[in-house]
Structure 1
Amino acid sequence: MEALDLLGSIRARRTVDLNHLRPDPIEPATLKSLLEAANWAPSHGKTEPWRFVVFTGEGRLMLAETLATSLALLKGQDQPESEMLRQQRERQLLAPAWIAVAVEPAEKPRMPFYEEQWAVACAVQTLMLAARSVGLASKWISNAPSLHPNTARALGFAETASMMGIIALGYIDGEWPVGERRPIADKVRWIERHDERASIEARG
């Protein structure tokens, strides 16, 4: 498949449901290229706070067990029930690759924590656009189990790190979904004169 250019990837990127992914494995070199793209995201103060753990093959079962345990903890249970664990394993096997994402602030933070989170969000968006450019679908999941502190600890992130969710990656089974957006003109104001503020206040 021919790679899309940047604007093409931006327009064509869609969140794809796990049930619409093929089981075909993704080459490690491809995954590394996506992570390299994410590594060039902007970060205030050049902190580069994004951290990733990649799960493929049987490694996906570790992610499944971790998320099942976090879900059990959310329900006030020490360990997941067998049915909960089975469902989570089935879910994780729907995508050939998963990437857990965390934000890890510097030991002596120079920036507010929310700026570090924004930087990681930029890294995730960059990764998903790079994925679409090479024909890979993605789904960024930020539900309660994926954000639970147990998930960060169990996956080996630093003690100061906080989860930002998990990303499913895979080749789509069928046609790419077509997206829609309202006109950008409905969401933008243009200010071209220095006295524009006064005219806005005058109108009400």
Structure 2
Amino acid sequence: MAEVDGLDGLEALVRRRRTSLIMDLTRPVDPTLVDRICGLVAWAPNHKRTWPWRVAVFTGDSRAALGNAFADDQADAGETDLVRVEKSRRKYGRSPVCVVVGADPGDST
């Protein structure tokens, strides 16, 4: 597993453009690093030169609640493959921190 120390390490990891599913769930994630990353997300450009980005961070039991919400929404939308629904339900518990990025297209502040 690649070790990531600070934002320089994160930048190097992102530039390699590789995905690793090997995670150490016992190793704590530094909340300060998560806050810094989320702060940088807010500055990502968009075509209207606004700052619509919204970030939500899920840890602990809230990851299961996130998975349940996505799976329930999938089922409500008509997904009949129960394996896919259950996979959605469990997938957010596979990492110690889940970061969800969304946009508010009507907000330009």
Shared fold, TM over 0.5: yes
CA drift at 1:15 = 2.6
Structure 1 residue aligned with 2:30: 27
Equivalent residues in 2 for 1:1-204, closer than 5 Å? 2-3=5-6, 4=8, 8-17=12-21, 20-23=22-25, 24-75=27-78, 84-85=85-86, 87-106=87-106
Q: Which runs of 5+ in 2 are unaligned?
A: none
1:7, CA displacement in angstroms? 7.0
Matched letter for residue 95 of structure 1 = S
Instruction: For 1:58 and 1:7, locate their aligned partners in 2 and report how far apart those are by CA, in whole Å.
Output: 29
In 2: Cα distance, 1:52 partner to 1:63 partner: 14
Structure 1 residues 100 and 10, CA gap change in structure 2 (3 angstroms): closer
Please state how far the C-alpha of 1:89 moved relative to its aligned partner: 4.2
Task: Give the secondary-structure state (helix, strand or coil) at the position aligned to 1:75.
Answer: coil
Structure 1 residues 64 and 6 mapped into 2: Cα distance closer, same or farther (>3 Å)? Answer: closer
Give the root-mean-square deviation of aligned CA atoms: 3.0
Q: Per the alignment, do residues 55 and 7 of structure 1 end up closer, same or farther by CA in structure 2, a change over 3 Å counting?
A: closer
Q: TM-score, normalised by structure 2?
A: 0.69
Is the contact between residue 47 and residue 106 of structure 1 (CA under 8 Å) also seen in structure 2? no
Query: Any idea what SS the aligned residue of 1:94 has?
Result: coil
CA distance in structure 1 between the aligned counterparts of 2:106 and 2:51, rounded to whole angstroms: 9
How many residue pairs match? The answer is 101
Quick one: distance in 2 between partners of 1:60 and 1:69? 14
Residue 45 (structure 1) shift: 4.1
Distance 1:89 1:44, change over 3 A: closer
Q: Distance in 1 between matches of 2:63 and 2:78?
A: 23
5-14 or 63-72, which moves further after superposition?
A: 5-14
Which structure would you say has the larger Rg?
1
Deviation string 1:1-53 (CA, Å, 9 cap, x unpaired) is 55537874453242333xx2221331221110111121221234431111111
Q: Tell me the TM-score normalized by structure 1.
A: 0.41
CA distance, structure 1, for counterparts of residue 10 and residue 96 of structure 2 = 25
Separation of aligned partners in 2, 1:2 and 1:27:
10
The sequence identity of aligned pairs, in percent, is 27
- Over 3 Å counting, the alpha-carbon distance change for 1:63 and 1:45 in structure 2 is same
